[in-house]
Structure 1
Amino acid sequence: MTTKAVIKGLSLLLLIFFLNGCESSDNKAIESPGASMKSELAQRKTNPYLSYEHSLSVELEKAALATKFKALTDQCSADRENNCTLLETDFSGGSYTYARIKLRVAPTGVEKILVLAGDNGKITNEMTTVEDLSTQIFDTEKRIKLLQTYQNDLLDLQKQAKGNIDSLIKVSQEIASVQSQLEELSGNSQALMQRVNMDIINIRLSSRNEKAFWTPISDALDEFKGNLAEGIAGAITGVAYLIPWLIVLLILFFIGRFIWRRLRRK
Protein backbone atom coordinates (compact mmCIF):
# COMPACT_ATOMS: atom_id res chain seq x y z
CA MET A 1 0.00 0.00 0.00
CA THR A 2 1.39 3.39 -0.99
CA THR A 3 1.78 6.41 1.31
CA LYS A 4 -0.95 8.33 -0.57
CA ALA A 5 -3.42 5.48 -0.08
CA VAL A 6 -2.70 5.40 3.66
CA ILE A 7 -3.22 9.19 3.94
CA LYS A 8 -6.51 8.95 2.01
CA GLY A 9 -7.72 6.13 4.26
CA LEU A 10 -6.89 8.07 7.42
CA SER A 11 -8.60 11.19 6.07
CA LEU A 12 -11.75 9.20 5.28
CA LEU A 13 -11.84 7.71 8.79
CA LEU A 14 -11.42 11.17 10.36
CA LEU A 15 -14.25 12.54 8.17
CA ILE A 16 -16.59 9.69 9.19
CA PHE A 17 -15.70 10.19 12.86
CA PHE A 18 -16.38 13.96 12.59
CA LEU A 19 -19.77 13.43 10.94
CA ASN A 20 -20.79 10.86 13.54
CA GLY A 21 -19.78 13.29 16.27
CA CYS A 22 -21.94 16.04 14.73
CA GLU A 23 -24.92 13.71 14.46
CA SER A 24 -24.60 12.59 18.05
CA SER A 25 -24.35 16.19 19.27
CA ASP A 26 -27.46 17.12 17.29
CA ASN A 27 -29.35 14.18 18.74
CA LYS A 28 -28.33 15.22 22.22
CA ALA A 29 -29.67 18.70 21.60
CA ILE A 30 -33.04 17.28 20.56
CA GLU A 31 -33.19 14.66 23.30
CA SER A 32 -32.12 17.02 26.09
CA PRO A 33 -35.68 18.12 26.97
CA GLY A 34 -36.69 14.50 27.57
CA ALA A 35 -33.69 13.85 29.77
CA SER A 36 -34.35 16.96 31.84
CA MET A 37 -38.03 16.00 32.22
CA LYS A 38 -37.05 12.75 33.97
CA SER A 39 -34.98 14.59 36.57
CA GLU A 40 -37.77 17.13 37.06
CA LEU A 41 -40.39 14.40 37.61
CA ALA A 42 -38.17 12.85 40.29
CA GLN A 43 -37.78 16.26 41.93
CA ARG A 44 -41.54 16.88 41.86
CA LYS A 45 -42.12 13.65 43.80
CA THR A 46 -39.71 14.86 46.50
CA ASN A 47 -41.34 18.29 46.75
CA PRO A 48 -44.84 18.68 45.23
CA TYR A 49 -44.86 22.45 45.80
CA LEU A 50 -42.31 23.47 43.15
CA SER A 51 -43.18 25.93 40.38
CA TYR A 52 -41.43 25.40 37.03
CA GLU A 53 -40.84 27.89 34.22
CA HIS A 54 -39.06 26.80 31.03
CA SER A 55 -37.39 29.06 28.45
CA LEU A 56 -36.26 27.90 25.02
CA SER A 57 -34.65 29.90 22.20
CA VAL A 58 -34.56 28.28 18.75
CA GLU A 59 -32.92 29.49 15.55
CA LEU A 60 -34.61 28.48 12.27
CA GLU A 61 -34.51 29.17 8.60
CA LYS A 62 -36.55 32.28 7.86
CA ALA A 63 -38.96 30.38 5.61
CA ALA A 64 -39.65 27.77 8.31
CA LEU A 65 -40.30 30.17 11.17
CA ALA A 66 -43.95 30.95 10.36
CA THR A 67 -44.68 27.23 9.94
CA LYS A 68 -43.08 26.43 13.31
CA PHE A 69 -45.00 29.24 14.99
CA LYS A 70 -48.31 27.90 13.65
CA ALA A 71 -47.43 24.32 14.58
CA LEU A 72 -46.71 25.30 18.20
CA THR A 73 -49.84 27.41 18.63
CA ASP A 74 -52.00 24.72 17.01
CA GLN A 75 -50.42 22.04 19.22
CA CYS A 76 -51.21 24.01 22.37
CA SER A 77 -54.76 24.80 21.27
CA ALA A 78 -55.43 21.13 20.53
CA ASP A 79 -53.87 19.75 23.74
CA ARG A 80 -56.96 19.68 25.95
CA GLU A 81 -55.63 16.68 27.88
CA ASN A 82 -52.89 18.84 29.44
CA ASN A 83 -55.01 22.02 29.59
CA CYS A 84 -52.56 23.95 27.44
CA THR A 85 -53.35 27.68 27.35
CA LEU A 86 -51.74 30.33 25.16
CA LEU A 87 -50.92 33.31 27.38
CA GLU A 88 -49.02 35.47 24.88
CA THR A 89 -48.08 35.25 21.20
CA ASP A 90 -46.08 37.68 19.07
CA PHE A 91 -44.94 37.31 15.46
CA SER A 92 -42.85 39.90 13.60
CA GLY A 93 -41.81 39.71 9.95
CA GLY A 94 -39.45 41.90 7.93
CA SER A 95 -35.73 41.61 7.33
CA TYR A 96 -35.35 39.96 10.75
CA THR A 97 -38.19 37.57 11.58
CA TYR A 98 -38.86 36.42 15.12
CA ALA A 99 -41.73 35.07 17.20
CA ARG A 100 -42.51 34.66 20.90
CA ILE A 101 -44.91 32.24 22.54
CA LYS A 102 -45.80 32.05 26.21
CA LEU A 103 -48.08 29.24 27.34
CA ARG A 104 -49.22 27.34 30.41
CA VAL A 105 -49.45 23.55 30.35
CA ALA A 106 -49.53 20.57 32.70
CA PRO A 107 -46.11 19.00 33.42
CA THR A 108 -46.99 15.92 31.33
CA GLY A 109 -47.34 18.13 28.23
CA VAL A 110 -44.09 20.08 28.57
CA GLU A 111 -41.81 17.61 26.80
CA LYS A 112 -44.02 17.43 23.69
CA ILE A 113 -43.99 21.23 23.31
CA LEU A 114 -40.23 21.58 23.86
CA VAL A 115 -39.37 18.76 21.43
CA LEU A 116 -41.65 20.26 18.79
CA ALA A 117 -40.06 23.69 19.26
CA GLY A 118 -36.50 22.37 18.92
CA ASP A 119 -37.18 19.99 16.02
CA ASN A 120 -35.32 20.94 12.79
CA GLY A 121 -33.87 24.00 14.50
CA LYS A 122 -30.80 25.08 16.42
CA ILE A 123 -31.38 25.42 20.15
CA THR A 124 -29.38 28.50 21.19
CA ASN A 125 -30.57 28.72 24.79
CA GLU A 126 -32.47 26.42 27.14
CA MET A 127 -33.23 27.23 30.76
CA THR A 128 -35.54 26.02 33.53
CA THR A 129 -36.16 28.01 36.69
CA VAL A 130 -37.70 26.45 39.78
CA GLU A 131 -39.34 28.27 42.69
CA ASP A 132 -40.26 26.57 45.95
CA LEU A 133 -43.74 27.77 46.96
CA SER A 134 -44.20 25.46 49.93
CA THR A 135 -43.73 28.22 52.52
CA GLN A 136 -46.26 30.53 50.83
CA ILE A 137 -48.79 27.72 50.38
CA PHE A 138 -48.52 26.52 53.99
CA ASP A 139 -48.75 30.08 55.36
CA THR A 140 -51.83 30.78 53.24
CA GLU A 141 -53.54 27.56 54.35
CA LYS A 142 -52.72 28.33 57.98
CA ARG A 143 -54.22 31.83 57.73
CA ILE A 144 -57.35 30.42 56.07
CA LYS A 145 -57.86 27.92 58.89
CA LEU A 146 -57.39 30.61 61.55
CA LEU A 147 -59.86 32.92 59.83
CA GLN A 148 -62.38 30.10 59.45
CA THR A 149 -62.15 29.38 63.19
CA TYR A 150 -62.57 33.08 63.94
CA GLN A 151 -65.53 33.24 61.54
CA ASN A 152 -67.25 30.37 63.35
CA ASP A 153 -66.75 32.14 66.68
CA LEU A 154 -68.26 35.31 65.21
CA LEU A 155 -71.29 33.36 63.96
CA ASP A 156 -71.84 32.03 67.46
CA LEU A 157 -71.63 35.57 68.85
CA GLN A 158 -74.11 36.74 66.21
CA LYS A 159 -76.63 34.19 67.44
CA GLN A 160 -76.15 35.33 71.03
CA ALA A 161 -76.41 39.05 70.17
CA LYS A 162 -79.85 38.95 68.57
CA GLY A 163 -81.31 41.13 71.28
CA ASN A 164 -78.51 43.72 71.20
CA ILE A 165 -78.68 45.79 68.02
CA ASP A 166 -75.31 47.55 68.48
CA SER A 167 -73.47 44.29 69.17
CA LEU A 168 -75.25 42.63 66.27
CA ILE A 169 -74.14 45.39 63.85
CA LYS A 170 -70.52 45.20 65.02
CA VAL A 171 -70.41 41.42 64.78
CA SER A 172 -72.01 41.48 61.32
CA GLN A 173 -69.42 43.99 60.10
CA GLU A 174 -66.60 41.84 61.46
CA ILE A 175 -68.08 38.75 59.78
CA ALA A 176 -68.19 40.60 56.44
CA SER A 177 -64.55 41.68 56.87
CA VAL A 178 -63.44 38.12 57.67
CA GLN A 179 -65.38 36.77 54.70
CA SER A 180 -63.63 39.27 52.41
CA GLN A 181 -60.22 38.21 53.75
CA LEU A 182 -61.10 34.54 53.28
CA GLU A 183 -62.09 35.11 49.65
CA GLU A 184 -58.83 36.96 48.97
CA LEU A 185 -56.73 34.25 50.61
CA SER A 186 -58.67 31.55 48.76
CA GLY A 187 -57.88 33.29 45.46
CA ASN A 188 -54.20 33.51 46.40
CA SER A 189 -54.17 29.83 47.33
CA GLN A 190 -55.72 28.84 44.00
CA ALA A 191 -53.17 30.96 42.12
CA LEU A 192 -50.28 29.35 44.00
CA MET A 193 -51.60 25.85 43.36
CA GLN A 194 -52.02 26.67 39.67
CA ARG A 195 -48.34 27.65 39.53
CA VAL A 196 -47.49 24.30 41.12
CA ASN A 197 -49.79 22.15 38.99
CA MET A 198 -49.08 23.92 35.67
CA ASP A 199 -45.76 24.84 34.05
CA ILE A 200 -44.98 28.04 32.15
CA ILE A 201 -43.10 27.77 28.83
CA ASN A 202 -41.47 30.73 27.06
CA ILE A 203 -40.41 30.01 23.48
CA ARG A 204 -38.47 32.43 21.30
CA LEU A 205 -38.07 31.66 17.60
CA SER A 206 -35.64 33.66 15.46
CA SER A 207 -34.47 33.47 11.86
CA ARG A 208 -30.86 32.79 10.98
CA ASN A 209 -28.96 35.95 10.09
CA GLU A 210 -28.22 35.22 6.43
CA LYS A 211 -28.46 38.56 4.65
CA ALA A 212 -27.66 39.07 1.00
CA PHE A 213 -24.88 41.45 -0.11
CA TRP A 214 -27.33 44.19 -1.08
CA THR A 215 -29.52 43.91 2.01
CA PRO A 216 -27.57 46.44 4.15
CA ILE A 217 -27.51 48.86 1.19
CA SER A 218 -31.23 48.45 0.67
CA ASP A 219 -31.89 49.02 4.37
CA ALA A 220 -29.74 52.17 4.30
CA LEU A 221 -31.64 53.54 1.28
CA ASP A 222 -34.96 52.83 2.99
CA GLU A 223 -33.80 54.83 6.00
CA PHE A 224 -32.22 57.64 3.92
CA LYS A 225 -35.25 59.98 4.03
CA GLY A 226 -35.65 59.63 7.76
CA ASN A 227 -31.95 60.14 8.42
CA LEU A 228 -31.88 63.17 6.08
CA ALA A 229 -34.85 64.73 7.86
CA GLU A 230 -33.21 64.17 11.25
CA GLY A 231 -29.96 65.68 9.97
CA ILE A 232 -31.73 68.80 8.68
CA ALA A 233 -33.64 69.12 11.95
CA GLY A 234 -30.38 68.84 13.87
CA ALA A 235 -28.76 71.49 11.72
CA ILE A 236 -31.71 73.89 12.20
CA THR A 237 -31.55 73.32 15.95
CA GLY A 238 -27.81 74.02 15.92
CA VAL A 239 -28.31 77.28 14.02
CA ALA A 240 -31.02 78.34 16.48
CA TYR A 241 -28.54 77.87 19.33
CA LEU A 242 -25.74 79.70 17.45
CA ILE A 243 -27.68 82.86 16.50
CA PRO A 244 -27.79 84.36 20.06
CA TRP A 245 -24.09 83.67 20.51
CA LEU A 246 -23.26 85.31 17.18
CA ILE A 247 -25.16 88.44 18.22
CA VAL A 248 -23.26 88.56 21.53
CA LEU A 249 -19.93 88.03 19.74
CA LEU A 250 -20.72 90.81 17.24
CA ILE A 251 -21.58 93.22 20.06
CA LEU A 252 -18.36 92.34 21.87
CA PHE A 253 -16.41 92.74 18.63
CA PHE A 254 -17.71 96.27 17.99
CA ILE A 255 -17.18 97.26 21.65
CA GLY A 256 -13.62 95.96 21.48
CA ARG A 257 -13.02 97.70 18.17
CA PHE A 258 -14.34 100.99 19.60
CA ILE A 259 -12.09 100.72 22.67
CA TRP A 260 -9.08 99.85 20.49
CA ARG A 261 -9.60 102.91 18.29
CA ARG A 262 -9.91 105.20 21.34
CA LEU A 263 -6.68 103.82 22.74
CA ARG A 264 -4.86 104.33 19.46
CA ARG A 265 -5.97 107.99 19.24
CA LYS A 266 -4.50 108.64 22.67
Structure 2
Amino acid sequence: MKRTMWHPKGAWAGMLVLGLAGCAAQNHGEAAADAGAGALASPEGAMLAYEHDLDITLDAAGIAPRVKQIAEACQSARFGDCAVLQVGQQGGEYPSGSVKVRIAPKGVEPLIGLAGQGGEVASRNTHAEDLAQQVADTALSKARLQKEHERLLAYQDSKDIKLADLLTITQRLSEIEAGVEQANKEAAQQHRRIDTQLVTMQFHTPSGQRSRSQIGEALSESGAVLTTSVAFLIRALSALLPWAVVAWVFAWIGSVLWRRRKRRLAARAS
Protein backbone atom coordinates (compact mmCIF):
# COMPACT_ATOMS: atom_id res chain seq x y z
CA MET A 1 0.00 0.00 0.00
CA LYS A 2 1.30 3.42 -1.02
CA ARG A 3 1.70 5.89 1.80
CA THR A 4 1.14 9.63 1.48
CA MET A 5 4.12 11.58 2.73
CA TRP A 6 3.58 14.77 4.82
CA HIS A 7 5.58 17.71 3.50
CA PRO A 8 6.18 20.70 5.80
CA LYS A 9 6.39 23.09 2.85
CA GLY A 10 2.93 22.07 1.58
CA ALA A 11 1.41 22.55 5.03
CA TRP A 12 2.95 26.02 5.35
CA ALA A 13 1.58 26.96 1.89
CA GLY A 14 -1.93 25.85 2.86
CA MET A 15 -1.79 27.80 6.09
CA LEU A 16 -0.57 30.87 4.18
CA VAL A 17 -3.49 30.65 1.74
CA LEU A 18 -5.99 30.26 4.56
CA GLY A 19 -4.41 33.19 6.37
CA LEU A 20 -4.63 35.44 3.32
CA ALA A 21 -8.25 34.45 2.75
CA GLY A 22 -9.04 35.21 6.38
CA CYS A 23 -7.36 38.62 6.13
CA ALA A 24 -9.28 39.43 2.94
CA ALA A 25 -12.56 38.49 4.56
CA GLN A 26 -11.66 40.54 7.65
CA ASN A 27 -10.71 43.58 5.53
CA HIS A 28 -13.96 43.30 3.59
CA GLY A 29 -15.93 43.15 6.82
CA GLU A 30 -14.02 46.13 8.23
CA ALA A 31 -14.71 48.12 5.04
CA ALA A 32 -18.41 47.37 5.27
CA ALA A 33 -18.40 48.31 8.95
CA ASP A 34 -16.57 51.55 8.20
CA ALA A 35 -19.12 52.41 5.48
CA GLY A 36 -21.94 51.83 7.94
CA ALA A 37 -20.16 53.73 10.71
CA GLY A 38 -19.60 56.70 8.40
CA ALA A 39 -23.32 57.23 7.91
CA LEU A 40 -24.70 60.40 9.45
CA ALA A 41 -27.11 59.75 12.29
CA SER A 42 -28.77 61.93 14.88
CA PRO A 43 -26.45 62.14 17.95
CA GLU A 44 -27.63 60.89 21.31
CA GLY A 45 -30.28 63.25 22.66
CA ALA A 46 -30.48 65.27 19.44
CA MET A 47 -33.58 65.43 17.26
CA LEU A 48 -32.12 65.90 13.76
CA ALA A 49 -33.88 64.96 10.54
CA TYR A 50 -31.30 64.43 7.77
CA GLU A 51 -32.00 64.89 4.06
CA HIS A 52 -29.67 64.16 1.13
CA ASP A 53 -30.00 65.58 -2.41
CA LEU A 54 -27.82 64.06 -5.14
CA ASP A 55 -27.28 64.76 -8.83
CA ILE A 56 -25.82 61.70 -10.59
CA THR A 57 -24.58 61.59 -14.20
CA LEU A 58 -25.02 58.28 -15.99
CA ASP A 59 -25.08 57.04 -19.58
CA ALA A 60 -28.48 57.45 -21.23
CA ALA A 61 -28.97 53.69 -21.64
CA GLY A 62 -28.28 53.05 -17.95
CA ILE A 63 -30.66 55.55 -16.36
CA ALA A 64 -33.91 53.58 -16.57
CA PRO A 65 -32.36 50.28 -15.34
CA ARG A 66 -30.62 52.11 -12.49
CA VAL A 67 -33.83 53.78 -11.35
CA LYS A 68 -35.53 50.37 -11.31
CA GLN A 69 -32.57 48.82 -9.49
CA ILE A 70 -32.63 51.46 -6.76
CA ALA A 71 -36.39 51.08 -6.26
CA GLU A 72 -36.12 47.29 -6.03
CA ALA A 73 -33.20 47.46 -3.60
CA CYS A 74 -35.23 49.74 -1.36
CA GLN A 75 -38.41 47.67 -1.51
CA SER A 76 -36.51 44.49 -0.71
CA ALA A 77 -34.79 46.16 2.29
CA ARG A 78 -31.40 45.28 0.81
CA PHE A 79 -29.68 48.00 2.87
CA GLY A 80 -32.09 48.07 5.80
CA ASP A 81 -35.54 49.49 6.41
CA CYS A 82 -36.50 51.56 3.37
CA ALA A 83 -39.61 53.02 1.75
CA VAL A 84 -39.90 54.29 -1.83
CA LEU A 85 -41.63 57.68 -1.87
CA GLN A 86 -41.29 58.68 -5.53
CA VAL A 87 -40.00 57.24 -8.82
CA GLY A 88 -39.86 59.16 -12.11
CA GLN A 89 -38.44 58.62 -15.59
CA GLN A 90 -38.29 60.73 -18.73
CA GLY A 91 -37.18 59.45 -22.16
CA GLY A 92 -36.46 61.28 -25.40
CA GLU A 93 -33.25 62.90 -26.52
CA TYR A 94 -32.18 63.77 -22.96
CA PRO A 95 -33.39 60.95 -20.67
CA SER A 96 -33.49 61.52 -16.93
CA GLY A 97 -34.81 59.83 -13.83
CA SER A 98 -35.39 60.39 -10.15
CA VAL A 99 -35.89 58.29 -7.02
CA LYS A 100 -36.86 59.50 -3.56
CA VAL A 101 -36.62 57.11 -0.62
CA ARG A 102 -36.65 57.17 3.17
CA ILE A 103 -34.09 54.76 4.57
CA ALA A 104 -32.35 53.83 7.83
CA PRO A 105 -29.12 55.83 8.40
CA LYS A 106 -26.79 52.85 7.90
CA GLY A 107 -28.26 52.21 4.45
CA VAL A 108 -27.70 55.71 3.08
CA GLU A 109 -24.11 55.33 1.93
CA PRO A 110 -24.53 51.82 0.41
CA LEU A 111 -27.61 53.00 -1.49
CA ILE A 112 -25.76 56.07 -2.81
CA GLY A 113 -22.85 53.82 -3.79
CA LEU A 114 -25.23 51.63 -5.80
CA ALA A 115 -26.79 54.67 -7.47
CA GLY A 116 -23.41 56.01 -8.59
CA GLN A 117 -21.97 52.76 -9.98
CA GLY A 118 -20.67 53.31 -13.52
CA GLY A 119 -21.43 57.03 -13.28
CA GLU A 120 -20.45 60.04 -11.22
CA VAL A 121 -22.02 61.86 -8.28
CA ALA A 122 -21.89 65.36 -9.78
CA SER A 123 -23.22 67.07 -6.67
CA ARG A 124 -24.38 66.16 -3.19
CA ASN A 125 -26.04 68.28 -0.55
CA THR A 126 -26.80 67.08 2.97
CA HIS A 127 -28.68 69.11 5.54
CA ALA A 128 -30.55 68.45 8.77
CA GLU A 129 -33.59 70.03 10.38
CA ASP A 130 -33.63 70.30 14.17
CA LEU A 131 -36.97 68.90 15.37
CA ALA A 132 -36.25 69.22 19.10
CA GLN A 133 -38.70 72.10 19.58
CA GLN A 134 -41.42 70.40 17.55
CA VAL A 135 -41.02 67.15 19.49
CA ALA A 136 -41.14 69.02 22.80
CA ASP A 137 -44.23 71.00 21.76
CA THR A 138 -46.05 67.86 20.65
CA ALA A 139 -45.22 66.05 23.89
CA LEU A 140 -46.32 69.05 25.99
CA SER A 141 -49.59 69.39 24.07
CA LYS A 142 -50.32 65.70 24.49
CA ALA A 143 -49.56 65.81 28.24
CA ARG A 144 -51.91 68.78 28.75
CA LEU A 145 -54.71 67.06 26.87
CA GLN A 146 -54.30 63.88 28.87
CA LYS A 147 -54.41 65.78 32.17
CA GLU A 148 -57.55 67.62 31.11
CA HIS A 149 -59.04 64.32 30.01
CA GLU A 150 -58.42 62.82 33.47
CA ARG A 151 -59.96 65.81 35.26
CA LEU A 152 -63.08 65.75 33.10
CA LEU A 153 -63.51 62.03 33.64
CA ALA A 154 -63.33 62.54 37.37
CA TYR A 155 -65.87 65.40 37.20
CA GLN A 156 -68.12 63.31 34.93
CA ASP A 157 -68.41 60.65 37.63
CA SER A 158 -69.65 63.20 40.18
CA LYS A 159 -73.17 62.57 41.48
CA ASP A 160 -74.05 66.29 41.56
CA ILE A 161 -73.33 66.94 37.89
CA LYS A 162 -76.11 68.48 35.84
CA LEU A 163 -77.31 67.15 32.53
CA ALA A 164 -76.18 70.26 30.59
CA ASP A 165 -72.70 70.01 32.13
CA LEU A 166 -72.58 66.31 31.35
CA LEU A 167 -73.32 66.97 27.68
CA THR A 168 -70.66 69.69 27.56
CA ILE A 169 -68.08 67.42 29.21
CA THR A 170 -68.89 64.57 26.84
CA GLN A 171 -68.37 66.83 23.83
CA ARG A 172 -65.11 68.16 25.25
CA LEU A 173 -63.86 64.63 25.95
CA SER A 174 -64.43 63.75 22.30
CA GLU A 175 -62.42 66.81 21.23
CA ILE A 176 -59.60 65.91 23.62
CA GLU A 177 -59.46 62.32 22.37
CA ALA A 178 -59.23 63.59 18.79
CA GLY A 179 -56.45 65.98 19.84
CA VAL A 180 -54.50 63.19 21.55
CA GLU A 181 -54.81 61.02 18.43
CA GLN A 182 -53.50 63.86 16.26
CA ALA A 183 -50.61 64.44 18.67
CA ASN A 184 -49.73 60.74 18.47
CA LYS A 185 -49.66 60.94 14.66
CA GLU A 186 -47.43 64.02 14.73
CA ALA A 187 -45.08 62.39 17.23
CA ALA A 188 -44.85 59.25 15.08
CA GLN A 189 -44.07 61.31 11.98
CA GLN A 190 -41.42 63.33 13.82
CA HIS A 191 -39.67 60.22 15.13
CA ARG A 192 -39.88 58.64 11.69
CA ARG A 193 -38.03 61.63 10.25
CA ILE A 194 -35.42 61.36 13.01
CA ASP A 195 -34.94 57.58 12.83
CA THR A 196 -34.76 57.48 9.01
CA GLN A 197 -33.25 59.78 6.38
CA LEU A 198 -34.67 61.20 3.16
CA VAL A 199 -32.55 60.57 0.05
CA THR A 200 -33.44 62.19 -3.30
CA MET A 201 -31.44 61.08 -6.37
CA GLN A 202 -31.64 62.83 -9.75
CA PHE A 203 -30.13 61.02 -12.75
CA HIS A 204 -28.96 62.90 -15.88
CA THR A 205 -26.76 62.15 -18.89
CA PRO A 206 -23.24 63.67 -18.96
CA SER A 207 -22.90 67.14 -20.51
CA GLY A 208 -20.69 65.79 -23.33
CA GLN A 209 -23.33 63.23 -24.23
CA ARG A 210 -26.01 65.92 -24.24
CA SER A 211 -23.82 68.08 -26.52
CA ARG A 212 -23.38 65.21 -28.98
CA SER A 213 -27.12 64.64 -28.91
CA GLN A 214 -27.72 68.30 -29.68
CA ILE A 215 -25.27 68.17 -32.63
CA GLY A 216 -26.91 65.02 -33.96
CA GLU A 217 -30.33 66.57 -33.56
CA ALA A 218 -29.17 69.71 -35.39
CA LEU A 219 -27.75 67.63 -38.27
CA SER A 220 -30.91 65.58 -38.54
CA GLU A 221 -32.98 68.75 -38.67
CA SER A 222 -30.71 70.55 -41.16
CA GLY A 223 -32.48 69.01 -44.18
CA ALA A 224 -35.87 70.12 -42.96
CA VAL A 225 -34.53 73.61 -42.19
CA LEU A 226 -32.98 73.90 -45.69
CA THR A 227 -36.22 72.76 -47.34
CA THR A 228 -38.23 75.27 -45.32
CA SER A 229 -35.81 78.09 -46.22
CA VAL A 230 -35.93 77.30 -49.97
CA ALA A 231 -39.72 77.10 -49.86
CA PHE A 232 -39.84 80.50 -48.17
CA LEU A 233 -37.59 82.04 -50.82
CA ILE A 234 -39.73 80.60 -53.62
CA ARG A 235 -42.88 82.01 -52.06
CA ALA A 236 -41.21 85.38 -51.56
CA LEU A 237 -40.04 85.50 -55.19
CA SER A 238 -43.46 84.45 -56.43
CA ALA A 239 -45.08 87.23 -54.43
CA LEU A 240 -42.55 89.89 -55.53
CA LEU A 241 -42.25 88.94 -59.24
CA PRO A 242 -45.44 90.71 -60.45
CA TRP A 243 -44.45 93.88 -58.65
CA ALA A 244 -40.95 93.65 -60.10
CA VAL A 245 -42.35 93.38 -63.64
CA VAL A 246 -44.60 96.40 -63.11
CA ALA A 247 -41.71 98.39 -61.65
CA TRP A 248 -39.51 97.43 -64.61
CA VAL A 249 -42.20 98.56 -67.11
CA PHE A 250 -42.60 101.93 -65.39
CA ALA A 251 -38.83 102.36 -65.26
CA TRP A 252 -38.54 101.55 -68.99
CA ILE A 253 -41.29 104.03 -69.90
CA GLY A 254 -39.68 106.67 -67.74
CA SER A 255 -36.32 106.06 -69.37
CA VAL A 256 -37.83 106.42 -72.88
CA LEU A 257 -39.59 109.65 -71.98
CA TRP A 258 -36.46 111.04 -70.40
CA ARG A 259 -34.39 110.35 -73.54
CA ARG A 260 -37.02 112.02 -75.75
CA ARG A 261 -37.04 115.07 -73.49
CA LYS A 262 -33.26 115.30 -73.67
CA ARG A 263 -33.32 115.12 -77.51
CA ARG A 264 -35.94 117.95 -77.69
CA LEU A 265 -33.94 120.15 -75.37
CA ALA A 266 -30.80 119.52 -77.44
CA ALA A 267 -32.63 120.33 -80.72
CA ARG A 268 -33.92 123.65 -79.32
CA ALA A 269 -30.50 124.60 -78.05
CA SER A 270 -28.93 124.10 -81.47
Q: TM-score, normalised by structure 1?
A: 0.65
C-alpha spacing 1:110/1:81, structure 2 compared with 1 (3 Å): closer
Note the 1:57-96 alignment, pairs <5 A. 57-79=55-77, 82-96=80-94
C-alpha spacing 1:161/1:54, structure 2 compared with 1 (3 Å): farther
For 2:222 and 2:156, the matched residues in 1 are separated by 78
Q: Which residue of 2 aligns with 1:199?
A: 197
In the alignment, residue 38 of structure 1 is paired with which amino acid? Answer: G
> Does 2:7 correspond to 1:40?
no
Query: CA offset at residue 83 of structure 1?
Result: 2.3
Aligned-residue RMSD, C-alpha: 2.8
- Aligned-pair identity (%): 23
Query: CA offset at residue 216 of structure 1?
Result: 2.0
Query: CA offset at residue 157 of structure 1?
Result: 0.7
Query: CA offset at residue 47 of structure 1?
Result: 4.1
C-alpha spacing 1:110/1:216, structure 2 compared with 1 (3 Å): same
For 1:168 and 1:223, the matched residues in 2 are separated by 83
Residue 200 of structure 1: SS of its match in structure 2?
strand
- Where do 5+ consecutive residues of structure 2 fail to align? 1-30, 230-270
Residue 112 (structure 2) aligned to one of 108, 111, 114? 114
Q: TM-score, normalised by structure 2?
A: 0.64
C-alpha spacing 1:171/1:222, structure 2 compared with 1 (3 Å): farther
Residue 149 of structure 1: SS of its match in structure 2?
helix
> Does 2:217 correspond to 1:215?
yes
Q: Which residue of 1 aligns with 2:19?
A: none
Larger radius of gyration: 2
For 1:107 and 1:115, the matched residues in 2 are separated by 14
C-alpha spacing 1:81/1:169, structure 2 compared with 1 (3 Å): farther
Note the 1:233-248 alignment, pairs <5 A. none
**Alignment check: 8 A CA contact 2:36 2:109 kept:** no
How many residues end up aligned between the 2 structures? 192
Query: CA offset at residue 214 of structure 1?
Result: 3.0
- Where do 5+ consecutive residues of structure 1 fail to align? 1-30, 229-266
In the alignment, residue 127 of structure 2 is paired with which amino acid? Answer: T
